[in-house]
Structure formats: structure tokens, C-alpha cells
Amino acid sequence: MHELGVVIEVVKTVENFAEKNGVTKIDKIVLQIGELSSMIPKYIEACYPAAVDGTMMEETKLEIEILPGNGICKECNKVFNIIQTKGKCPICGSKDNEIISGKEFMIKEILAC
């Protein structure tokens, strides 16, 4: 499981941001995770308490938004969800496509004061 290291990176980034912006308390953090990224939301949630332990985010709630893993078909330009169709274009059946979203792993925002 490589999520712990990544969540620790998230905490570092937010702490940096908080320091620069004079934030003292964070109620909630919102992450955006693409379906095609190597991060699994369930594991992120599982290791989150360990990663925030002893930091200013100890009491901060975690919210995760999933971004769809979409691709565009190189044959017919149809945009479709790569995961649901196992990479096959639902219109023409081509497997030749380009990923346009779903690899993200972003800190979207925090609710803070």
C-alpha cells in the first residue's frame, strides 16, 4: 500500500499552505482522485488518521471526490469512461484512445479559518 506516503505528502502541502495563508484551523479537506490514478480512495481513507496524527489536521475531516477515467476514441472521437468499457469504444469498438481525465490526484480545497 503506497497511500500512506502520499497522504503524508498531502498533509505537508496543506500545512505549508496554512502557514503561508495564516490559517489556524482546518475543518475539512477535499481531495480529488481520478479513477485511473494509482490511489485507491478506500486506502486513502484508511490511512488518513495515521497521517494526520499529531499534526494541525488531526481534527480535520476528509472528503474525497472521484473524477471519472475518461478517454477519447482516436477513431470516432467519442468520449467514454475507460473503466466501464474496459478501454473499448462503445460506438465503434476501437481500443485506440487517449486518456483525457482520471489520472489526477489533487488537493481541491480546505474549509478553514
Partner 1 sequence: MDTYKILEIKESVFENNDRQADLLRADLKKEKTFLLNLMSSPGSGKTTTVLRTIEALKDEMSIGVLEADIDSDVDANTVSKTGVKVIQLHTGGMCHLDADMTKQGLEGLGTEGVDFAILENVGNLVCPAEFDTGASKNAMILSVPEGDDKPLKYPLMFSIVDVLLINKMDSIGFFDFDLEVVKERVKKLNPNIKVIPITAKTGEGIDEWANWLRTEVKNWNEK
Question: Does residue 6 interact with partner 1 by CB under 8 A?
Answer: yes
Question: Does residue 76 interact with Zn ion by CB under 5 A?
Answer: yes
Sorted by sequence, the CB contacts under 8 Å of residue 43 that are 6+ apart come out as: 1, 3
Q: End-to-end alpha-carbon separation of the chain, Å?
A: 33
Please pick, from the candidates 19, 25, 63, 66, the single residue that binds partner 1 as defined by CB under 8 A: 25
Hey, which residues between 60 and 89 contact partner 1 (CB under 8 A)? none
CB 106 within 8 A of CB 9: no
Question: Does residue 109 interact with partner 1 by CB under 8 A?
Answer: yes
Q: DSSP letter for 68, please.
A: P
Hey, which residues between 27 and 56 contact partner 1 (CB under 8 A)? 27-28, 38
